[in-house]
Amino acid sequence: MNRVYNFSAGPSMLPESVLKKAADEMLSYEGCGMSVMEMSHRSKVYESIIYGAEELLRELMNIPEDYYVFFLQGGASSQFSMIPMNLMNKNNKADFVITGQWAKKAFSEASRYGQTRKVASSEDAVFNYIPKLDKSMFDPEADYVHITHNNTIYGTRYTSLPDTGKVPLIADVSSDILSEVIDVSKFGLIYAGAQKNMAPAGLTVVIVKKDLVGNAMDFTPVMLNYATHVKDRSMYNTPPTYCIYIMKLVLEWLKGLGGVPAMQKINEEKASVLYNFLDSSDMFKGTVVKEDRSMMNVPFVCPTEELNAKFVAEAIGAGFVNLKGHRTVGGMRASIYNAMPREGVVKLVEFMKDFETKNK
């Protein structure tokens, strides 16, 4: 069986060892006689999976004890509503930094529940940079400040966090969670769709400071109230059981590599291989300012649309798939999440060099 190198922005590739273990356990999980897909989420066997996954996540991310961890459904997009319903509850105001489509959507949805303000935006340059931010730019009376930590479509990332003073900082970390060490204590809440670095599509992880939970707006539906999920430890209703199981396997894999610090080193090496080539190439060019480049999502272009299309088509034939860029940027995008081996990036660069030679 031949496996391709999958550069999809999400759902993305999973570690091969995880897929093999899941296949081995498909019919009978640890000898229990049934698949995880079939078992009750209330069973002792499944409780060991979901609580084990939480314990591993807390360990790998060094999550402080005064934070809750939720395993939810609805994608990261559901948090665009849940966050204001639960947190925009004192002064009914929130600040946003707009660095891409997802930040725009988070801003738009929060605007339905209170007063929202765009502190800064990089839309003037098709979101190819992170705006410079200063503490004085933020409203000290805002209930929170929202950022998108890594921008999947545009390939930018925060290399340092904004100083928001006493205002809680909220971050969408969907496309870079577990890729590098982050200090969870710097945030009031972080959230992530799991389908890029943690698990298949269907699971959303929320990590929130305990003192921010319990004051949801009166009209907040039960399922959208964080307090509901505190009380029932992410099992108010049936959680995405199989996704959580796969996430546990991924977390075990990551721990076996040496944890997040080891993964960060690998990711830095992978990204440097690709960026070093882009900086030296006469044909391929990166689209992001160097200081704000993402380690996870690398957009690049050829001089013409014809060459872009030709490259994507030939790449597919060579076993490099899902390299077509987002329609708002064009060109190509290589998403090199945790599960992408260094070998995949090296071979992609070799293919790019060969393509450039043949198409001068």
**Would you name the residues annotated as active-site residues?**
102, 172, 196
Position 30, amino acid = E
φ and ψ of 236, to 5 deg: -65, -40
In the DSSP assignment, the letter for residue 197 is T
Extract the tokens encoding 151: 């921008």
Task: Say if residues 92 and 70 touch (Cβ distance below 8 Å).
Answer: no
Buried b (16+ CB within 10 A) or exposed e, 48-58: ebbeebbebbb
**Which residues, other chains included, contact 191 with Cβ-Cβ below 8 Å and sequence gap of 6+?**
76, 79, 83, 170, 171, 172, 173, 174, 204, 205, 206, 207
**Which residues, other chains included, contact 65 with Cβ-Cβ below 8 Å and sequence gap of 6+?**
none
Q: How far apart are CA 129 and CA 292, in angstroms?
A: 6
